[in-house]
Chain A
Amino acid sequence: MPGMEEHVEEYLSAYVLGSLDEVESQQVARHLQGCADCRRALAQYEQLVSALALGLPQIEPPSELRGRILAAAARARPIETTTRPGLRQLLQAAFGQLSPGWALVGLALILLLAFNNLLLWQQVAELQHRTAALQSALRIASLTGTENAPHAVGTLVISLTGEYGVLVVDGLPPLDAEHQYQLWLIVDGQRANGGVFSVNEEGYGALYVSSPAPLSSYQALGVTVEPAGGSPGPTGAKVLGGEL
């Protein structure tokens, strides 16, 4: 049985897994309040449990799940259980910090970097001043609208390693429920799927892009209209195009 004074290292792995009984669990929790060494050890075991969860084989969820979650979020009433800023508030703060000129590129940069923790969340609000410097450190591709969508624009920001990017688009007409936009990554005439996305009624949308080959290995980008869920190859009207 762990006591307040004795270190609880040997109970920590079970504590993190949830395998201690109620009494032991409370005693470990009390000890942790006063012991920085054991809290450090706890953090390591927590990271280990996370690493095991992250290490499980990945399984693709059904494509309808994304839309269902967004619809549920739009309907849901907010739950205020803490006073700390939640993820949503932090992202709102990020959006709100952008001056109009930087809106598209800056947003993509913020989301890309923040998601990959190259920035701490607290620094997100300062990003506006650094955007110009960061822009030169990352590859950015611009997309322009075709005659099918003359007012559309898009920006793809590619990460330092080239393995992923964020596409942000503006000015694309919203599609009906049977259709979505699809991003194509083009090299040597071959088109690879970059993902599907929808836009809101203002024509604004964003997509996290990852692909088997580094994004920087592609030569060009295109966005077409496709059946909801996407197609193996482009079938619909092209709305955006650009070069990498």
Chain B
Amino acid sequence: MRRTANGDETALGLLYDRYGRLVFSVAYHVLNDQTLAEETTQEVFLRVWQKADSYHPEQGRLAPWLASIARRRAIDLYRHRQRSIENHLTDKPVEDAFDLADPEDVENEAQAAEQRRRVRQALAALPEVQRQALAYAFFRGYSHSQIAALTGEPLGTVKTRIRLAMLKLRDLLSDELEEAR
């Protein structure tokens, strides 16, 4: 079929058109650096494209799957480059990364913007200490012990805060989670 060879790149281009901004945004929020976020985005799309990360239908919608991969790859990149970006000026400390004001959202799709608003609301409903503990885990992938060491809080306190934060969010966002399935 005459389109097969270049049909690949066309399909990859479509995939990027649909999900490129989403992947880039997740990476940027983890890394706070445009160049590194671009690097992560390229890596994610190449891995998906080359079958290194295989999508199969039981995994549900593409968007959540790609968002999770983006988060993991960005965290990996952060760990790998940590020495060189330790002194990087960031907008805010990672513990405040879930303090999301209503942004000027670069968003065309009303439904997606509405879902994001609900996530922001749910995060804002958490007690600050829970939100901060969760931010360490979500944006850095730190273990409980690492978070306890960083914050000076007891290990048990860190574990409880993260667990309660996730329970509360699961509750508040149950509609989103049902829709995903």
Cβ of A178 under 8 Å from chain B:
no
B119 in contact with A72 (CB, 8 Å)? no
CB-based nearest A residue for B101:
A57
- A interface bracket (residues with beta carbon within 8 Å of B): 35 or more
CB-based nearest B residue for A54:
B67
Cβ of A133 under 8 Å from chain B:
no
Chain B residues, CB < 8 A from A73: 8-9, 12, 45-46, 49-50
CB-based nearest A residue for B16:
A66
Task: Specify which of A91, A116, A197 lies most central, judged by the most chain B CB atoms within 10 Å of its CB.
Answer: A91
A55 in contact with B115 (CB, 8 Å)? yes
Chain A residues, CB < 8 A from B110: 163
Which of these, B3, B48, B116, B176, contacts A95 with CB under 8 Å?
A: B3
A68 in contact with B42 (CB, 8 Å)? yes
Cβ of A195 under 8 Å from chain B:
yes
Q: How far is the CA of A163 from the CA of B113 in the complex (A)?
A: 12
CB within 8 Å of A: which of B41-83? 41-42, 45-52, 54-57, 60-65, 67-68, 70-72, 75
A86 in contact with B50 (CB, 8 Å)? yes
Kindly provide the distance from the CB of B163 to the nearest chain A CB, expressed in whole angstroms: 6
Chain A residues, CB < 8 A from B25: 56-59
Task: Specify which of B12, B34, B72 lies most central, judged by the most chain A CB atoms within 10 Å of its CB.
Answer: B12
Kindly provide the distance from the CB of A168 to the nearest chain B CB, expressed in whole angstroms: 9
A51 in contact with B51 (CB, 8 Å)? no
